[in-house]
């Protein structure tokens, strides 16, 4: 289907459309077979080229209900699709239900024609939308490519799309993933492969999840490919009997799944099952599989992925001992801050003191952790400060890490169990960093703990009372996440006792003054006395600083410690070539997508007007949804409000 569809030229497809409009039968083979079938079905539904259909679209509460219904699908697919969307700039990815209702949209937002944009809440059923990749993938139960001109009702639309269904272990359809890209892309089959890889990876994840209490054998002909989507998976019970075989494994093993299920793995491996299990008592083991017809490589994964080694891995836990530079007393920290912000920080400190939670919001490097530590210190230095980065922990470990577990809670649990970060923070402060990245299912458990103030460790029925102050932080706007259904509203209100929004460097009222302050403090710290050249300061203030304070600090400190001993004034020439380049080409400097919008906003009145018009258009394209529009523009929602205000 891939190559044949790719070979169809738009001229041939146009001719086919004309045949259809004249009521003539299409010559056999003129269209790709699945497109042909789809066009025939569309005609039977009364659709034909030129039909302008009314598309059903869910309102926000209906969409929330759909998302709740398909919560498991979203939790499974969301992180992977996000990653692909970040990779494939300029493409749009959709996650949809088995009846083609779009649950979420990622990346670019394409508009099909002046009437519809593709986004969450629309339903792409063939009966009203005509030929399209999501509908076809569901009907054909296979990956499909639908080129721009093959969309029966929208032949002049600017996009082509590929889609693949996501099947569960029984072969039932859980949903689908669509990838939409510009129609003139020369190699659409690349996207088809990408979407197949994505659904393949998700199906493997489902298999591992389903059989997490069992042994899972990965098989492939090549060691290098053992972790790829082309590897096959076999689930085994504790005695080595085969419980399930996925389609890839059946291919590698050269037999139908049904013929393999119920047989003993020793028949395939030649080794004793006991011996193999002993090899991988604490971790997965690599095996050579001497099979008739050739040698395969395998990896046998023991039941339950939660290994004690992984749980005690300190690298995934934010260290409890604070970095010296981050440990500043609250008053010293807010001394130079704008008055309103300093007032908010003091308010947060008072709130924390009486047990109210504090939420710190701000882009990366805006000083959330620094403020959290200062707030903690203002309560009394003797108490523990426990920071947990919710984004850095694998999803399967967060629960054990937060709530702890009892002895023998699962295979390989530490002797004596583990108290968990919440209990460790007892009497002190718990910082839940990047809380916006916490999976929805865990949010529910955390909410219960915060309400009831007791923790029940995994595998243990005893309740442990906890008494700690909570500071949550996120670079993502939690209100936006709540609106999008990605963060629980009730948890948001539980955490947002006092909200402090930390401004980006570009939002500082007196950035030049702040740069001088920071420079003076660094000079004191390093015992140097260099003057900052004013032309350089101008360049520094014009730069966008996507990494905020952290980036500024790196830039200034590197220049200071690298300056010649006799140097008295730091000018542009004193900076590294990389920094000189960044500061002279500010528009290109941004890895950060805020660069374009922000930079234009700093420009002339005319540019500002153009920027505003662009924002209004984007907002309209997103049905007035500020969250979605801000995301599409690559700026924060508050920035969007401000710029439009």
Ligand X SMILES: Nc1ncnc2c1ncn2[C@@H]1O[C@H](COP(=O)(O)OP(=O)(O)OP(=O)(O)O)[C@@H](O)[C@H]1O
Binding residues for ligand X, rule: CB under 6 A, are: 325-326, 362, 364-370, 475, 518, 549-550, 553
Identify which of residues 196 and 389 has a Cβ nearer to ligand X in the complex. 389
Handedness of CA 315, 320, 322, 327 (dihedral sign): positive
> Cβ of residue 492: shortest distance to ligand X, in angstroms?
18
DSSP string of 342-367, one letter each residue = HHHHHHHHHHHHTT--EEEE-STTSS
Identify which of residues 365 and 497 has a Cβ nearer to ligand X in the complex. 365
Identify which of residues 276 and 360 has a Cβ nearer to ligand X in the complex. 360
Identify which of residues 302 and 362 has a Cβ nearer to ligand X in the complex. 362
Residue 181 · residue 93 · CB < 8 Å: no
Pairing type for strands 159-167 and 173-182 reads antiparallel
> Cβ of residue 344: shortest distance to ligand X, in angstroms?
13
> Cβ of residue 550: shortest distance to ligand X, in angstroms?
4
Both tokens assigned to 513: 């003054």
d(CA 102, CA 55): 12
Identify which of residues 19 and 550 has a Cβ nearer to ligand X in the complex. 550
d(CA 364, CA 358): 18
Q: Which of 103, 147, 141 is nearest to 124 (CA)?
A: 103
Helices (H), 10-70: 10-21, 33-44, 60-69
> Cβ of residue 78: shortest distance to ligand X, in angstroms?
21
DSSP string of 259-311, one letter each residue = HHTTSBHHHHH-S-HHHHHHHTSSS-EEEEEEETTEEEEEEEEPSSS--HHHH
How distant, in Å, are the alpha carbons of 62, 332, 337, 548 from that of 345? 39, 12, 10, 19
Identify which of residues 309 and 591 has a Cβ nearer to ligand X in the complex. 591
> Cβ of residue 517: shortest distance to ligand X, in angstroms?
8
d(CA 621, CA 119): 10
Residue 178 · residue 134 · CB < 8 Å: yes
Q: Which of 212, 231, 233 is nearest to 222 (CA)?
A: 231
Identify which of residues 367 and 420 has a Cβ nearer to ligand X in the complex. 367
How distant, in Å, are the alpha carbons of 109, 217, 311, 418, 629 from that of 284? 42, 9, 16, 23, 45
d(CA 179, CA 194): 9
Identify which of residues 242 and 473 has a Cβ nearer to ligand X in the complex. 473
d(CA 262, CA 248): 18
> Cβ of residue 520: shortest distance to ligand X, in angstroms?
12
Provide the CA 357 distance to its chain's centre, in angstroms.
Answer: 26
> Cβ of residue 421: shortest distance to ligand X, in angstroms?
17
Identify which of residues 126 and 369 has a Cβ nearer to ligand X in the complex. 369
> Cβ of residue 335: shortest distance to ligand X, in angstroms?
10
Q: Which of 261, 311, 315, 257 is nearest to 282 (CA)?
A: 311
Identify which of residues 292 and 325 has a Cβ nearer to ligand X in the complex. 325
Cβ-closest residue to ligand X?
Answer: 367
Residue 398 · residue 318 · CB < 8 Å: no
> Cβ of residue 549: shortest distance to ligand X, in angstroms?
3
Identify which of residues 234 and 500 has a Cβ nearer to ligand X in the complex. 500
> Cβ of residue 554: shortest distance to ligand X, in angstroms?
9
Which residue reads 């004690």 in tokens?
308
> Cβ of residue 466: shortest distance to ligand X, in angstroms?
24
CA atoms within 13 A on the CB side of 303: 12
Identify which of residues 326 and 621 has a Cβ nearer to ligand X in the complex. 326
> Cβ of residue 398: shortest distance to ligand X, in angstroms?
18
DSSP string of 478-507, one letter each residue = HHHHHHTTSS-HHHHHHH-SEEEEPPPGGG
């Amino acid at each position: 289907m891939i190559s044949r569809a790719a070979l169809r030229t738009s001229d041939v497809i146009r001719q086919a459309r004309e045949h259809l409009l004249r009521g003539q039968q299409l010559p056999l083979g003129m269209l790709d077979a699945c497109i042909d079938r789809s066009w025939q079905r569309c005609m039977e539904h009364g659709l034909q080229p030129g039909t302008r259909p009314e598309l059903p679209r869910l309102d926000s509460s209906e969409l929330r209900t759909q998302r709740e219904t398909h919560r498991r699908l979203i939790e499974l697919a969301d992180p992977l699709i996000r990653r692909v969307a970040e990779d494939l700039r300029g493409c749009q990815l959709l996650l949809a239900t088995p009846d083609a209702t779009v649950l979420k949209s990622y990346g670019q937002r394409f508009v099909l024609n002046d009437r519809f944009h593709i986004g969450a809440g629309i339903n792409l059923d063939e009966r009203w939308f005509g030929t399209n990749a999501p509908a076809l993938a569901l009907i054909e139960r296979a990956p499909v490519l639908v080129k721009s001109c093959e969309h029966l009702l929208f032949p002049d639309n600017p996009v082509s799309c590929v889609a693949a269904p996501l099947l569960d272990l029984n072969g039932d359809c859980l949903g689908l993933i669509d990838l939409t890209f510009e129609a003139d892309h020369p190699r659409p089959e690349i996207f088809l492969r990408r979407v197949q890889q994505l659904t393949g990876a998700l199906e493997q994840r489902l298999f591992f999840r389903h059989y997490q209490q069992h042994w899972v054998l990965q098989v492939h002909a090549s060691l290098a490919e053992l972790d790829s989507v082309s590897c096959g998976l076999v689930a085994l019970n504790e005695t080595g009997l085969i419980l399930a075989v996925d389609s890839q494994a059946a291919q590698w093993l050269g037999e139908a799944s049904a013929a393999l299920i119920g047989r003993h793995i020793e028949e395939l491996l030649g080794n004793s099952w006991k011996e193999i299990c002993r090899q991988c008592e604490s971790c997965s083991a690599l095996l050579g599989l001497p099979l008739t017809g050739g040698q395969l490589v395998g990896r046998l994964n023991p039941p339950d992925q939660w290994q004690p080694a992984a749980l005690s891995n300190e690298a995934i836990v934010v260290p409890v001992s604070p970095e010296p530079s981050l440990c500043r007393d609250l008053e010293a920290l807010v001394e130079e801050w704008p008055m309103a912000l300093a007032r908010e920080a003091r308010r947060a400190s008072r709130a924390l003191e009486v047990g109210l939670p504090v939420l710190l919001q701000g882009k990366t490097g805006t000083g959330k952790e620094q403020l959290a530590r200062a707030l903690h210190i203002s309560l009394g230095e003797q108490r523990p400060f426990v920071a947990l980065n919710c984004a850095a922990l694998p999803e399967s470990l967060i629960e054990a890490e937060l709530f702890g577990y009892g002895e023998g809670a699962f295979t390989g649990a530490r002797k004596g169990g583990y108290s968990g970060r919440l209990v460790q923070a007892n009497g002190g402060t718990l910082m839940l960093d990047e809380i916006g990245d916490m999976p929805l299912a865990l949010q529910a458990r955390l909410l219960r703990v915060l309400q009831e103030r007791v923790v029940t460790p995994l595998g243990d029925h005893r309740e442990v009372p906890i008494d700690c102050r909570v500071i949550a932080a996120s670079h993502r706007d939690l209100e936006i996440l709540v609106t999008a259904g990605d963060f629980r509203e009730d948890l948001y209100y539980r955490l947002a006792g006092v909200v402090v929004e930390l401004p980006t460097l570009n939002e500082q009222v007196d950035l030049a003054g702040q740069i001088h302050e920071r420079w003076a403090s660094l000079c004191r710290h390093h015992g140097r006395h260099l003057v900052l050249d004013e032309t350089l300061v101008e360049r520094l203030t014009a730069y966008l600083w996507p990494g905020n304070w952290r980036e500024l600090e790196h830039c200034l400190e590197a220049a200071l410690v690298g300056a010649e001993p006799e140097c008295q004034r730091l000018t542009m020439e004193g900076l590294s070539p990389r920094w000189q380049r960044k500061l002279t080409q500010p528009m290109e400097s941004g890895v950060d997508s805020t660069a374009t919008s922000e930079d234009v906003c700093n420009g002339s009145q005319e540019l500002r007007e153009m920027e505003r018009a662009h924002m209004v258009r984007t907002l309209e394209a997103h049905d007035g949804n500020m969250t979605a529009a801000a995301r599409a523009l690559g700026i924060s929602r508050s920035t969007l409000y401000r710029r439009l205000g």
